[in-house]
Chain A
Amino acid sequence: MTADQWIALAAGIVGGALRVGAPFLFVSLGECLTEKSGRINLGLEGVLVLSAMAAFGGAYLTGSAWLGVLIGAVAGAALALLHGLLCSLDRVNDVATGIALMLLGTGLAFYLGKPLIQPQAPQIPAIPLGFWSDDAVVRSALQLNALVPIGVALAVLLWWGFARTRAGLLVRMAGDSAQATRALGYSVSGLRIAATTAGGFIAGLGGASLTLFYPGSWNEGISSGQGLIAVALVIFARWSPLRCVGAAFLFGGAGAIGPALQSIGMGWGYHLFNTVPYVLTLAILVLTCKPGSAAVGSPGELSSTRS
């Protein structure tokens, strides 16, 4: 490989980390909020796909990328609200409901999004980070999605909120001890529904950054499990919004290896390199999970980490 290729590869991976990592960032923040309240939402995969479609459709119809972002987030919140409501029913299990909403969200997105495969929608503006280089490849690789700074700010806000605000404390209490929450006179279901819906709204921003930034189009293979990776990401980030940021960009970088290699003409093993994020997720789970004990930092009421 020549020096130019190395630079292009590095820029591709770094740029990809920022680009591919953006949806991971939002979905993992959403899942983090949901899980802090003691509920798991596997349906975030469905939320991501549906909001990606809704954001693209919204931007296409209204002609404004930011209105599209809002529509995507609201669609995500709506599907997550359904999850929250269903899970509050007696004997309805949150994992099964999550799987159901994954199917429903994907189905609805494919169904409603059929006419959106061809058109072009307005895009979220890009913040150029490659200004220091004359190389066009580097410049185009380092275009930053304008939603990313919002996501980082949101992570800080969530971290501060969990630690310092009454609402954050209530969410954490619902997640750590349902009994204590009830004893203080708060509704556990109500808190969890609110946290799940807000989580869906945040994940919806991730959906918007999937279709309204690079590659910037709607198609049916747009997500392929990124919502689920986020569930594992939250475990890796040990339920800390700040650590979610780092984790999301790490996974973004892993996801960018395949396309970056292909862009410099390395075609071999394209599909294998595309599995790197999933392999990395599993490897991280192997390293961070311990048999027979809950993960460090895990909310006490969270069913997926109890054994």
Chain B
Amino acid sequence: MRHALKEFALPVFAIAAALLLFGVLVAFAGIDPVEVWATLFKGAFGDWFSWQNTLQRAAPLMLTALCVALPARAGLIVIGGEGALVLGGLASAALAHAVPLPGNVVGTAAVCMAGALAGALWIVLAGWLRQYRGINETISSLLLAYIAIGIFKHLVEGPLRDPASLNKPSTHALNDGLLIGGIGGSDVHWGFVIGVLACLALGWWLRATASGFSVRVVGGNPRTAQLVGLPATRLILGACGLGGACAGLAGAVEVAAVHTNANASLIAGYGYAGILVSFIARHNPVAIVPVAILFGGFGAAGSLLQRRLGLPDASVLVLQGIAFVLILASEGLRMADWNALRARVPRGGEFGAGRAAPKANAAEAAQ
């Protein structure tokens, strides 16, 4: 229990320190830090309007964070979720245009499935390249993201463009019946619920099922996995596929709930912010939910910072960057008893491989 508290306290301290440093930075720009913090809070969680904005942004963040978390539990650091997201959004819009779908839940589900499938294939490709060609998945997934964005722009501005979209090239809009609506008439769309359910379901999968457990073994200690004869490659590709499906679903949800068609607004950096969310949540799907809401809040507050205080829109990026650096540093500055606990856990082979799993092992050893 004490350890669980520490696991929670460290990121909280790191984020608090990040806010402090960010305050120092804006103070240099001649802006009152207290006002910045107040505006951040107000823009993120101040009233119902802010909350709606925050939760709307949290939906894709949860799903793209899963695209980092699941492969990470299998020992892979995949950072190309942005590519899976844009291709997912494109696939969902393309399917909705090409096939006459029923304008009800079934049609919407089909649109979402198309997005998830496209995303899954894209990230499985990175996993495949690593398993069969020995290519570092961190680099390949990011290269694939840039390629995906190129394909996306080509198709949206060319073959899949709705001729009626003049200034902003877009695909044909989805029929009204296919759109994902708000919950109870609010601006928070059902994509938020989809995100939360995905996090909970995948958290349960990792924790309670045999295949989920196997994935964690493969990620935590490849040698053990080999000794007990786990099908490592299949498990790794499965984790990549599930993660990619989540990011692709995020794209489909953004198209069906926010933009109503696929256009360049889809390339909004949710994939990169998802990396941060997953790392802060220590690649734990359930912990992703609150972290995604927090970062959705930062994103929502960004425009208010810009309007009220005249800060550049990149301020939120700086805050995220500082938070990320401090969270990683806090990891290194942990208490000595943790060092002792962890020293007993053999390190995973590939870089980053041991990061998630030793934690689980250490937690078990502590009980």
Q: Which residues of A pack against B, CB within 8 Å?
A: 40, 42, 82, 86, 89-97, 99-101, 103-108, 110-111, 114, 220, 224-225, 228-229, 231-232, 268-272, 274-275, 278-279, 281-282, 285-286, 289-293, 303-307
A-B residue pair count with CB separations less than 8 angstroms: 165
On whether A103 and B276 interact (CB within 8 A), knowing A92-B332, A111-B312, the answer reads yes
B314 within 8 A of A: yes
The residues of A that contact B77 with a CB separation of less than 8 Å are 95-96, 99
List 6 tightest A-B contacts by C-beta distance, closest first.
A104-B321, A89-B332, A107-B317, A110-B314, A275-B150, A303-B351
Q: Does B143 contact A (CB under 8 A)?
A: yes
**When the two chains form their complex, are residues A106 and B339 in contact, meaning their CB atoms are under 8 A apart?**
no
B residues within 8 Å of A by Cβ?
25, 77, 79, 129, 131-136, 138-140, 142-144, 146-147, 150-151, 153-154, 157-158, 272, 275-276, 279, 312-322, 324-325, 328-329, 331-334, 339, 342, 349-352, 355
Given A95-B352, A269-B154, A289-B134: A104 and B325 within 8 A (CB)? yes
A307 partner, pick from B313, B318, B349, beta carbons under 8 A: B349
Query: In the complex the two chains form, is B329's CB within 8 Å of A89's CB?
Result: yes
User: What residues of chain A lie closer than 8 Å to B140, measured between beta carbons?
Assistant: 282, 285
Q: 4 new A-B pairs (CB below 8 Å) besides A110-B313, A286-B129?
A: A106-B317, A269-B158, A274-B150, A285-B133
**Cα-based distance from A109 to B208 in the complex (angstroms):** 44
The SS class assigned to the A binding surface is helix
Bound CA span A229–B314, Å: 24
From known contacts A89-B329, A97-B328, A307-B350, infer whether A278 and B147 are also in contact, taking CB-CB under 8 Å.
yes
Q: Are B150 and A103 touching (Cβ within 8 A)?
A: no
Give the distance to chain A from B138, nearest Cβ to Cβ, in Å: 6
Q: How far is the CA of A292 from the CA of B133 in the complex (A)?
A: 8
Q: Do A94 and B139 touch across chains, with their CB atoms under 8 A apart?
A: no
Neighbour of B139 across the interface among A82, A279, A285, CB < 8 A: A285
Q: Pick from B158, B317, B332: contact of A86, CB below 8 A.
A: B332
| A105 CB to nearest chain B CB (Å) | 7
A110 lies within 8 A of B312 (CB): yes
Residue from the set A82, A100, A293 with the largest chain B CB neighbour count within 10 Å: A100
Of the candidates A101, A103, A286, A306, which one forms a contact with B135 in the assembled complex, judged by CB atoms under 8 Å apart? A286
Are A275 and B147 touching (Cβ within 8 A)? Answer: yes
Q: A96-B77, A103-B276, A104-B321 known; A272 and B328 CB under 8 Å?
A: no
> Beyond A91-B332, A100-B324, A108-B321, is A232–B150 a contact (Cβ under 8 Å)?
no
